[in-house]
Chain A
């Protein structure tokens, strides 16, 4: 059992050092579903990739959030008409999450619906398109270093945060508005 857990730690470390947006595993859902198929001969490894902690222990709840579970299309087989119910019960209410986005130097602001994006990657791409700029990739250590722009947001407490630190679901519920910072201010800031 310990050996297997070690291997998993290895996996997670590799993923954590990868330079990309979002939580380890959050973009990988499609890839992982296909690897689920290929790994059918070795059932243990596919289920472990999903959530090592859940399989290792006999029912103990872990305190910290485990790696974001890979979501396989159409599984579990819960019909779509029940999804309305699920959304309401467990996540915040609200029809659409429109937030203002300002960019330093731009003459007017834009509004985007955070609920129309699935993850940070899609959001950043959309912002890059909308404002014709390059924001680039996120890393925990260096933020958006290398880019002239840094996407920031104002959270529920009124603090200005760098986009990308918290899980996507948490981000969309706490983001009140966004600002794309630019220039030396951004560079200096993201190095902190």
Chain B
């Protein structure tokens, strides 16, 4: 899937023989090869394996069960279907990341439907589907719900396009109906034996049964068309059928495990979706392990939710939305003390002392809880109810709770084992000092702005807060930090304290702002990050930056894979340095920088080794983009036309490698050059 141009350093069978060696890869029996390969999980390793020789390519494609596609347009459903016949789990990503910030017009694309249609035909045993930044219509969800008897996990992250109806379908069809499937396999087995025995009577009988059952099951709506059922049946090979018969016997005994275990909806947009879907889970559905609807606006039926939680004894992740109040939360958590991750609902409710006490006790009863989130509208009065659950907590997500430094510090004193912490900048530098002193094991910190458009002139956090964290949390390797001011000196010290950063995302919110003490550009800061943090994989830069920053990044950031740049740089040279320098660069996203056609064209071959390039509000022209498209035919060069901009400028450009050719579904405002 990911054409890795690095040739593996392995001798070919021919050279092995000519070397006089008795080992040749063609002597490894296929079954052994397949067995070994079935243990290889990483898709990067599998891509390398598939490049060794034709045999290995084939063995790999027959044994791959997990599919990862980082850009849905880099390949087409047909190509995937041809290459990989046995996929059970799919991870698919669509829109470029800047779509999260309203930079992509509506209806840009990344519709999952053609993929679901293909999966229904080619991967009837699909178990997991995880989508990110894709448009998912209700029709797609309905097709998904009805097409896969083994389906277990659905995860929708930053997706849009669906409503209550689609989720209804998922909930309604969450349990598989085993028996017709068992019968069909039995019939196939008998058929095979009959053919071997030349028993034409039995063969005909089996065929009659099958034909009538094909019609019956397609009426059920299980498969989308009769044709797909037939092609599905044609995939039975002898050994595969027998192996399925054996598995069927085993899994019949584990009936529950064949049903939905995960429904995970994250970071959904602000669309209003009804809440009726939750009531659609059947009363005998008990297998749910993960339920996350925290980001949905739906008002769900609490009675239905309570019943669901009470009968799903394996539930380990429960993240509800704001519509669930404290009293209701209490009723839920007494039913599920086994939870490892809890997302509460709204904390805005007046509690009697008795209710408060009950809640406190319930939180203390969590033996295995590791992650806590939600906490909408929590106040200093009720925050202490959660203290009892904090000792073993490794992930605390306070990004929906605008805490002040005092109550935040008190809370942190109870959380010594935190590894990941997300907060809002209302805790200010003082709060971050408490992080430094209370959470020595911290590995990840994200600080979100309460007031990003600076309407209320809150202080937020500054360089001193970040410094304080770096002094106390030496294991810090992931940071996302929104602030209004920063200094070079602070960043230099921070990376000396924490040289293991793999993800460094610093957002100085005022575009092009210099070091607030020296008034110098922030070049020195990011140079230090690039030089000191040798494991750096992801970097977001901000503040006043000249080309010098990019020279340093190109020179030192040898492991950098993702770079985000905004309002920075002085000339084409900046972008050139990055394109010529960072060997592992996969994603480059740029906005509002003075990079023009010369910069764009300096990366010709590089773009084929990258997943994608995004450039908006830079100095690109249509001519430059067309030149790129002409020189590199295996890249899709797409320009998103803005009504107001003039025709020769290319305001939003998205470039990505693809073996599927230009998009077939591009809307009129997307021009593929």
Q: Does any Cβ of A come within 8 Å of B501's Cβ?
A: no
Q: Does any Cβ of A come within 8 Å of B48's Cβ?
A: no
Q: Which secondary structure dominates chain A's binding surface?
A: helix
- For B455, the chain A residues whose CB sits under 8 A away are 69, 90, 169
- Does the CB pair B452–A81 fall under 8 Å? no
- Does the CB pair B570–A41 fall under 8 Å? yes
- Does the CB pair A72–B451 fall under 8 Å? no
Task: Pick out which of these stretches binds chain A: B99-107, B358-366, B580-588.
Answer: B99-107
- Does the CB pair B267–A36 fall under 8 Å? no
- For B473, the chain A residues whose CB sits under 8 A away are none
- For A14, the chain B residues whose CB sits under 8 A away are none
Q: What is the bound-complex CA distance between A51 and B564, given in angstroms? A: 25
- Does the CB pair A73–B511 fall under 8 Å? no
Q: Does any Cβ of A come within 8 Å of B567's Cβ?
A: yes
- Does the CB pair A89–B450 fall under 8 Å? yes
- For B514, the chain A residues whose CB sits under 8 A away are 43
- Does the CB pair B593–A40 fall under 8 Å? yes
Question: Smallest CB–CB gap between B568 and chain A, Å?
Answer: 8
- Does the CB pair A36–B592 fall under 8 Å? yes
Question: Smallest CB–CB gap between B34 and chain A, Å?
Answer: 42
B266-284 interface (Cβ within 8 A of A) = 267-270
Q: Does any Cβ of A come within 8 Å of B512's Cβ?
A: yes
B445-466 interface (Cβ within 8 A of A) = 448-457
- For A13, the chain B residues whose CB sits under 8 A away are none
- Does the CB pair B270–A80 fall under 8 Å? yes
Q: Mark A71-82, 1 if CB is under 8 A from B, else 0.
A: 111111111111
- Does the CB pair A50–B450 fall under 8 Å? no
Q: What is the bound-complex CA distance between A61 and B458, given in angstroms? A: 9
- For A72, the chain B residues whose CB sits under 8 A away are 511, 592
A85-133 interface (Cβ within 8 A of B) = 85-86, 88-90
Interface size class of B (residues with CB under 8 A): 35 or more
- For B512, the chain A residues whose CB sits under 8 A away are 36, 40, 43, 46-47
- Does the CB pair A74–B591 fall under 8 Å? yes
Task: Pick out which of these stretches binds chain B: A52-60, A142-150, A176-184.
Answer: A52-60
- Does the CB pair A74–B101 fall under 8 Å? yes
Give the residue name and chain of the B residue nearest to A83 (CB): B270
- For B450, the chain A residues whose CB sits under 8 A away are 86, 89-90
- Does the CB pair A85–B400 fall under 8 Å? yes
Q: Does any Cβ of A come within 8 Å of B196's Cβ?
A: no
- Does the CB pair B452–A76 fall under 8 Å? yes
- For B594, the chain A residues whose CB sits under 8 A away are 40-41
Q: Does any Cβ of B come within 8 Å of A166's Cβ?
A: no
Q: What is the bound-complex CA distance between A3 and B139, given in angstroms? A: 62
- Does the CB pair A74–B511 fall under 8 Å? no
Q: Mark A25-53, 1 if CB is under 8 A from B, else 0.
A: 00000000110110011010011001100
- Does the CB pair B453–A74 fall under 8 Å? no
- Does the CB pair B567–A36 fall under 8 Å? yes
- Does the CB pair A37–B457 fall under 8 Å? no
Q: Indicate which residue in B377, B451, B485, B564 contacts A86 across the interface (CB closer than 8 Å).
A: B451
Q: What is the bound-complex CA distance between A79 and B157, given in angstroms? A: 12
Question: Smallest CB–CB gap between A178 and chain B, Å?
Answer: 24
- Does the CB pair B267–A61 fall under 8 Å? no
- Does the CB pair B567–A81 fall under 8 Å? no
- Does the CB pair A76–B270 fall under 8 Å? no
- For B521, the chain A residues whose CB sits under 8 A away are 43
State the B residues within 8 Å of A (CB): 98, 100-103, 158, 267-270, 295, 297, 376-377, 399-400, 402, 448-457, 482, 484-485, 507, 509-514, 516-517, 521, 544, 564, 566-567, 569-570, 591-594, 617-618
State the A residues within 8 Å of B (CB): 33-34, 36-37, 40-41, 43, 46-47, 50-51, 54-55, 58-59, 61, 69, 71-86, 88-90, 169
